[in-house]
Structure 1
């Protein structure tokens, strides 16, 4: 049986500001934006050509709201793979993305940690030897 990870939920404060960040700043494509009623939407975004996508889910309870920006307890929770680290790093910096530290070379590749518009931590990562599986990456 073939399987793959289809969607990962990111809890957001507002659909439109989240779409603007992920699409206009990170360069993701909006694959679906369907209104479901009562202010809810089914919003799916992803890097161009990616199989796995993000589902943007607007927080509707106080508990969900408390998770915005810290869905992984302060750890890096998303890994944006690239095959041209320098170009993507410069493009994201020019677009106002906040990186926590300069890029560094690790045994698994070149990496720099950045935050999305809510403070969720991401790795911009160019894996060593073109390995996009993440299998050599140690959890931070």
Structure 2
């Protein structure tokens, strides 16, 4: 039996601002935006190539900005950073995680499994992007 993670709810304060961030800056696809009551919308977005989507939520049990540790994977973190910068995204430098502490990545360093980018959405929910271009 397969157990697949399908949706993660992201607590946000402003649905429209978050839609713009996740579509325009991150390139997620807007799957649907449905009003289900006078004060409730269901907005689902999916990262390119992902089997798992996010749902933007207001009025959740989690306050906006309280979700941390969300992670995306890409096969080339340098190309991902370049694309996000082109989309005017505020992302840090590529970090290598491993050993005693994080350090900046060297220009030609193999980043498979150890290269990461970090960013936050407009509410402060934090994300990581990890390079994985092969698996053992």
Structure 2 unaligned regions, length at least 5: 99-112
Aligned mates of 2:45, 2:90 — CA distance in 1:
21
Taking only aligned residues, the RMSD between alpha carbons, in angstroms, comes to 2.0
Does 2:106 correspond to 1:102?
Answer: no
Matches within 5 A, 1:86-97: 86-97=78-89
SS in 1 for 2:34: strand
- Matched pairs, number: 122
Aligned mates of 2:14, 2:126 — CA distance in 1:
18
Contact between 2:11 and 2:58, CA under 8 Å: does it hold in 1?
Answer: yes
Query: Which of structures 1 and 2 has the bigger CA Rg?
Result: 2
The residue aligned with 1:19 is 19
Aligned mates of 2:90, 2:124 — CA distance in 1:
9
Q: Provide the TM-score with structure 2 as the length reference.
A: 0.78
Q: Judging by fraction of residues, say which structure has more helix.
A: 1
Aligned mates of 2:36, 2:89 — CA distance in 1:
31
Structure 1 unaligned regions, length at least 5: none
